[in-house]
C-alpha cells in the first residue's frame, strides 16, 4: 500500500476523554445528602431518592436525594435569612464572590465538562468548548454588573428570594444563566436542577463553598415535580425563573397569577433556518449541522425547520445528505463524536413517535446508513422532506436530531413560513447579501436572529423569545432587569366595581343629545349588543350613556389593531410628531376636559386642570422619547456585533384605572403608542366619558385608523376577553386584585406578556409613573447577530 492508498483509507480512530477524575469524584460523594441548603449538605426530609443514569450506556451513576416540600421550605427560609445582608452588601463585595466562582470553575473546568457529558450524553467537544467556558463567562461578566449596579440601574434593587428551575439539556449553562445575574442583583437563590442531570449542579455547590459564597445565598435542591411545584407556589419566593417546555411554562404562569411574583419564562422553540439562493451553501450546511444536530437537537432554539429557496433546494439537500452521512454517532466521551445519545429512553421514544407521525402525515424521512451503538439512547440524524407547513414535524418541538425541510419562492413567503409557528425563540438567515438579511431579520417573530450563523451566545447579549417561547431575557442588560425591581408609587387598593342603579334624572333638553359610541378602526361605532351603560356625575345625576362593549367588540377592536400597519411601520420620528400633535390638540380643549373631570369626579376645578395639564405633559414626554428609547450594539468576544433592537410588543390591551381617569389612561396608552404598538384600551368603567371625549381629538390628530381603539364597558369582563384573546400580544391591567389575577391566569393561551398592578393603583401624577419603566414594558428586545470578517 502506497502513501496515497493509506491516505484514502484513513478513518478517525477512537480518541476517548479520560473519565477517571469524574469517576473518582462520583465514588467520593454521598449523594444521599445532595441537598445544598444554608451552606450545608442535607438528606431529603422524606428519605426518598431518584436515579440518574448514563445516557450512553444506561449505567447507574448515582441515587440522589429527592427533595420534598419541607426541604423547599428550609431552602427558602435559608435564602430569606441570608437576603438582608447579601442585598445590603456593596457591589464590590458581590462582584468578588462572582469572580471567585468563575475562577474556581476555571480551575475545575475539565471535571465539569466530563461530568456534564457523562450525565447528559452531549459530546465532550460541546461540553468542553462551549458549555463550560460560557458558564464561566457568565459569572465573570456578571461580576462587573454587580459592581456597576448603582450606576447602570439607578433606583433599582434586587427583587428578593428567587426560585429557579432549569432543564436537562444544558444543566451547567442554564444554572449559570440563572444564578449569575441573580447574585449580581443582590438576590438569594433556590435552584432546582432537572432530575436527569443533577451532577454538575452538585459540583457547582461545592464550588460555592470554596468560593466564599455566604451561607443561604445559593441553595440547590435536587428533586422532581413536587419540588418544582413547591418552589413555584411558595409565598416566600418573590420571583420565578423557569426554563423548560411551553406546557409547563403555562402551568407556572397560571399558578403564579395574582401572587405578585415576578416571572420570566424561557420555553420551547421551532426555529427557522432560512437559506436564500445567494447563500454560501457549504457554509450554510456547516451552520445547519450546528443548528440542528448540536446537542442531538435537544436545544430549545435548534434550527429544526429548514426553509430553502426553490432554485437551490435540490443542491442544498444533496449537500446536507452528504454531510449527514459523515456525522459520527457514538460515545459522547470520544472527541471525534458528533452526535451522542439522547438524555433518556423516554426522550428517545418521544422522538421516534414524532418521526413516525410525521411520516404518516406525508413527510419523507431519510437517515444516513450508519450503525448505532449497541447500548444507549441513540437516534440517527434525520432529514424530513416533502413536509407541509401543517405537518407535526413543522409545528411541534421534537427536541431531537430531526430536521424538517420546506421550500419558498420569494422573501415574503420565507418570512410567512418562518412566522407560521406558535413559538418565537430564534431564527437563522443565510445570504451573502447583508441588506437582504437585515431586511428579513426584523420581520421574523423571534427574540434572537443569527445572520450567517447559528447558536451564538454570550453573557453580554440577551436571549429569549416571543409568543409561546416565553417572555423575559437571559443575559445582557435586559437579563439584569429580570432580577431587579424599581419602586413604583403605589396608590390605594382598587375595589371591585359594583353595579349600582343607574341615575334616572331626565336631561334638561337645553342641549342636543350626545351619543357616545365605541372607537374601533378609526370610526365611532355602536356596540355589537346595542346595550348602553349609564354614567353618573359626582352628584349622582345622569351625565350620559356609553356603549356597553362585549366580546365581539373586543374582537373587532383587536382585528383593527392587528390590521393597522401604518403605525408600527412608521418611523419613530413620525410617531413622535403625531403624539406631539395629539398633545397640541388636547391642550386646545383643556377647559372642556377640565370641566368634564369636575362633573364626573367631583374634584376641584384646580385639581381637574392639573390633571389635564399633566396628561398633556405626559403625551409630550412620550412624543419626545419615541425616537430616543433605542436599542444597543453589543460587542461579544467573537467576530460579530449583536444589534439589540427595540421592537413593539404588537397589539397591547390596556385596562385603565378609575383613579385619575384621564391621566391614568394617557399614561398607559402613550408609551405603548410611542414604541409602535397598536392599542385596544378599556377606559375607566366609572368615568368612561373622558375617553369618549377623546375620540374627536384622536380623529383630527393624524393617528392612523386602528392604532388606538377604545371599548367602553365592564372592566372585569373586557379584561378577561383581552386576556384570552390569542391575537393580543401584551396586556396591562390596573384593576381590582381579582380582575388582575384572572387576567394573568387567562393569558396562558398564547403566553402574552401581562403587567398588572395586582389590585393597587399608582400615583399617576408622580414622575415615577412615567418614563423608561413604562417604555421597557412596551418593547421586545430582539438580538440580531451579524458576523464580520472572512
Which has the closest alpha carbon to 44: 53, 52, 32? 32
> Measured between alpha carbons, how far is residue 560 from residues 472, 521, 554, 696 in Å?
27, 5, 10, 18
For 514, counting Cβ atoms within 10 Å of its Cβ (0-12 exposed, 13-18 middle, 19+ buried), the class is exposed
CA–CA separation, 384 vs 393, rounded Å? 8
Q: What is the DSSP string of 712-767?
A: -S-HHHHHHHHHH-TT--EEEE-S-HHHHHHHHHHGGGTT-EEEE-TTEEE-TTSG
Q: How many CA atoms lie within 13 A of 512 on its CB side?
A: 2
Owner of C-alpha cell 449583536:
642
Q: What is the DSSP string of 216-272?
A: TTEEE----HHHHHHHHH-TT--EEEEES-HHHHHHHHHHHTTS--EEEEE-----E
> Measured between alpha carbons, how far is residue 703 from residues 152, 525, 597, 652 in Å?
35, 17, 24, 16
Q: How do strand 239-243 and strand 161-165 relate by DSSP bridges?
A: parallel
Which has the closest alpha carbon to 258: 664, 760, 767? 760
Among residues 116, 266, 468, 474, the one annotated as catalytic is: 266
Which has the closest alpha carbon to 436: 422, 457, 406, 415? 415
Instruction: Tally DSSP H helices, then E strands, for the chain.
Output: 29, 33
User: Given CA atoms 272, 276, 280, 281 in this order, what sign does their dihedral have?
Assistant: positive
Spatial neighbors of 631 by CB under 8 A, at least 6 apart, are: 643, 644, 645, 646, 781
Which has the closest alpha carbon to 500: 656, 685, 661, 662? 685
Q: How do strand 40-42 and strand 35-37 relate by DSSP bridges?
A: antiparallel
Q: For residue 22, what is its C-alpha cell?
A: 469524574
| Cα torsion through 765, 768, 771, 772, rounded to 10 | -160
Spatial neighbors of 433 by CB under 8 A, at least 6 apart, are: 276, 278
Q: Which residues pair with 566 in a beta bridge?
A: none
Among residues 300, 301, 365, 461, the one annotated as catalytic is: 300
Q: For residue 537, what is its C-alpha cell?
A: 356625575
Instruction: Yes or no: say if 755 and 732 are a contact pair by the CB < 8 Å rule.
Output: yes
Q: Give the helix ranges, DSSP H, for 153-234.
A: 171-185, 199-211, 225-233
Q: Is 266 a catalytic residue?
A: yes
Instruction: Yes or no: say if 542 and 507 are a contact pair by the CB < 8 Å rule.
Output: yes
Instruction: Yes or no: say if 401 and 296 are a contact pair by the CB < 8 Å rule.
Output: yes
CA–CA separation, 205 vs 222, rounded Å? 12
Instruction: Identify the DSSP state of 481.
Output: H
Range 192-201 burial, b when 16+ CB lie within 10 A, else e: bbbbbbbbbb
**789 dihedral zone (left: phi>0; alpha: psi -120 to 50; beta):** left
Angle, vertex CA 681, rays to CA 247 and CA 445, nearest 5 = 40
User: Which strand ranges, in their side-by-side order, compose the sheet holding 678-682?
Assistant: 523-525, 518-520, 708-710, 678-682, 651-655, 730-733, 753-756
Q: Is 226 a catalytic residue?
A: no
Which has the closest alpha carbon to 271: 290, 252, 286, 251? 290
> Measured between alpha carbons, how far is residue 790 from residues 281, 625, 634, 636 in Å?
15, 39, 20, 17
Q: How far apart are the first and last CA of the chain?
A: 39
Instruction: Yes or no: say if 17 and 334 are a contact pair by the CB < 8 Å rule.
Output: yes
Q: Which residues are the active-site residues?
A: 266, 300
Amino acid at each position: 500500500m502506497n502513501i496515497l492508498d493509506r491516505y484514502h483509507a484513513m478513518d478517525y480512530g477512537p480518541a476517548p476523554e479520560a473519565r477517571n477524575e469524574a469517576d473518582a469524584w462520583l465514588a467520593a460523594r454521598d449523594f444521599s445528602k445532595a441537598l445544598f441548603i444554608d451552606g450545608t449538605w442535607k438528606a431529603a426530609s422524606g428519605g426518598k431518592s431518584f436515579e440518574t443514569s448514563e445516557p450512553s450506556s444506561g449505567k447507574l451513576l448515582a441515587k440522589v436525594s429527592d427533595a420534598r416540600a419541607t426541604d423547599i421550605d428550609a431552602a427558602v427560609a435559608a435564602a430569606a435569612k441570608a437576603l438582608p445582608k447579601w442585598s445590603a452588601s456593596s457591589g464590590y463585595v458581590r462582584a468578588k464572590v462572582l469572580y471567585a466562582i468563575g475562577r474556581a470553575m476555571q480551575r475545575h473546568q475539565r471535571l465539569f465538562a466530563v461530568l456534564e457529558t457523562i450525565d447528559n450524553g452531549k459530546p465532550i467537544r460541546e461540553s468542553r468548548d462551549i458549555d463550560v467556558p460560557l458558564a464561566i463567562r457568565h459569572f465573570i461578566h456578571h461580576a462587573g454588573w454587580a459592581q456597576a449596579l448603582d450606576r447602570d440601574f439607578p433606583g433599582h434593587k434586587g427583587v428578593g428570594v428567587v426560585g429557579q428551575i432549569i432543564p436537562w439539556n444544558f444543566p451547567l449553562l442554564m444554572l449559570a444563566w440563572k444564578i449569575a445575574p441573580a447574585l449580581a442583583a443582590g438576590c438569594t437563590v433556590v435552584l432546582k436542577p432537572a432530575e436527569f442531570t443533577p451532577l454538575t449542579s452538585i459540583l457547582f455547590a461545592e464550588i460555592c463553598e470554596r468560593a466564599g459564597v455566604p451561607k443561604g445565598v445559593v441553595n440547590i435542591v435536587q428533586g422532581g415535580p413536587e419540588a418544582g411545584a413547591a418552589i413555584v407556589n411558595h409565598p416566600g419566593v418573590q420571583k420565578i425563573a423557569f426554563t423548560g417546555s411551553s406546557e409547563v411554562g403555562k402551568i407556572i404562569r397560571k399558578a403564579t397569577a395574582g401572587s405578585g411574583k415576578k416571572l420570566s419564562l424561557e420555553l420551547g422553540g421551532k426555529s427557522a433556518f432560512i437559506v436564500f439562493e445567494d447563500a454560501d451553501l457549504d457554509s450554510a450546511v456547516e451552520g445547519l449541522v450546528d443548528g440542528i444536530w448540536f446537542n442531538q437537537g435537544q436545544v430549545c432554539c435548534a434550527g429544526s425547520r429548514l426553509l430553502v429557496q426553490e432554485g437551490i433546494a435540490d443542491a442544498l439537500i444533496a449537500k446536507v445528505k452528504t454531510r449527514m452521512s459523515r456525522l459520527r454517532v457514538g460515545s459522547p466521551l470520544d472527541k471525534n463524536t458528533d452526535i451522542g445519545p439522547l438524555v433518556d429512553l423516554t426522550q428517545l421514544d418521544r422522538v421516534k413517535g414524532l418521526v413516525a407521525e410525521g411520516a404518516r402525515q406525508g413527510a419523507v424521512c431519510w437517515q444516513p446508513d450508519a450503525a448505532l451503538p449497541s447500548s444507549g439512547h441513540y437516534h440517527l440524524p434525520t432529514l424530513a422532506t416533502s413536509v407541509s407547513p401543517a405537518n407535526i414535524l413543522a409545528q411541534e418541538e421534537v427536541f431531537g436530531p430531526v430536521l424538517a425541510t420546506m421550500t419558498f419562492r420569494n422573501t415574503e413567503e420565507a418570512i410567512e413560513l418562518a412566522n407560521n409557528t406558535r413559538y418565537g425563540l430564534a431564527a437563522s438567515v443565510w445570504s451573502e447579501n447583508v441588506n437582504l438579511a437585515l431586511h428579513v431579520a426584523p420581520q421574523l417573530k423571534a427574540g434572537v436572529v443569527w445572520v450567517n450563523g447559528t447558536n451564538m451566545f454570550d453573557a453580554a447579549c440577551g436571549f429569549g423569545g416571543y409568543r409561546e417561547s416565553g417572555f423575559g431575557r437571559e443575559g445582557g442588560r435586559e437579563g439584569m432587569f429580570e432580577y431587579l425591581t424599581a419602586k413604583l408609587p403605589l396608590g390605594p387598593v382598587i375595589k371591585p366595581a359594583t353595579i349600582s342603579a343607574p341615575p334616572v334624572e331626565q336631561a334638561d333638553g337645553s342641549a342636543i343629545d350626545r351619543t357616545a359610541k365605541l372607537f374601533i378602526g378609526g370610526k365611532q361605532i355602536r356596540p355589537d349588543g346595542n346595550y348602553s351603560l349609564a354614567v353618573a356625575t359626582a352628584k349622582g345625576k345622569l351625565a350620559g350613556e356609553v356603549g356597553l362593549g362585549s366580546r365581539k367588540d373586543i374582537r373587532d377592536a383587536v382585528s383593527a389593531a392587528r390590521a393597522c400597519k401604518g403605525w408600527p411601520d412608521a418611523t419613530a420620528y413620525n410617531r413622535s410628531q403625531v403624539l406631539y400633535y395629539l398633545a397640541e390638540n388636547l391642550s386646545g380643549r383643556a377647559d372642556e376636559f377640565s370641566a368634564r373631570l369636575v362633573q364626573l369626579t367631583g374634584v376641584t376645578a384646580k385639581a381637574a386642570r392639573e390633571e389635564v395639564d399633566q396628561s398633556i405633559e405626559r403625551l409630550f414626554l412620550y412624543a419626545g422619547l419615541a425616537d430616543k428609547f433605542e436599542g444597543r450594539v453589543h460587542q461579544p468576544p467573537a467576530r460579530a456585533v449583536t444589534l439589540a433592537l427595540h421592537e413593539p410588543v404588537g397589539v397591547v390591551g390596556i385596562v385603565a384605572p378609575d383613579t385619575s381617569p384621564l391621566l391614568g389612561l394617557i399614561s398607559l396608552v402613550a408609551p405603548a403608542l410611542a414604541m409602535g404598538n397598536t392599542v385596544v384600551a378599556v377606559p375607566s368603567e366609572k368615568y368612561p366619558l373622558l375617553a369618549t371625549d377623546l375620540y374627536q381629538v384622536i380623529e383630527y390628530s393624524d393617528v392612523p385608523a386602528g392604532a388606538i381603539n377604545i371599548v367602553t364597558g365592564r372592566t372585569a369582563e373586557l379584561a378577561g376577553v383581552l386576556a384570552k384573546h390569542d391575537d393580543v400580544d401584551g396586556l396591562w391591567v390596573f384593576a381590582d386584585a381579582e380582575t388582575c389575577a384572572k387576567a394573568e391566569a387567562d393569558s396562558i393561551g398564547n403566553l402574552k406578556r401581562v403587567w398588572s398592578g395586582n389590585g393597587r393603583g399608582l400615583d399617576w401624577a408622580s414622575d415615577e409613573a412615567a418614563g423608561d419603566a413604562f417604555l421597557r414594558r412596551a418593547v421586545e428586545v430582539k438580538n440580531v447577530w451579524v458576523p464580520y470578517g472572512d
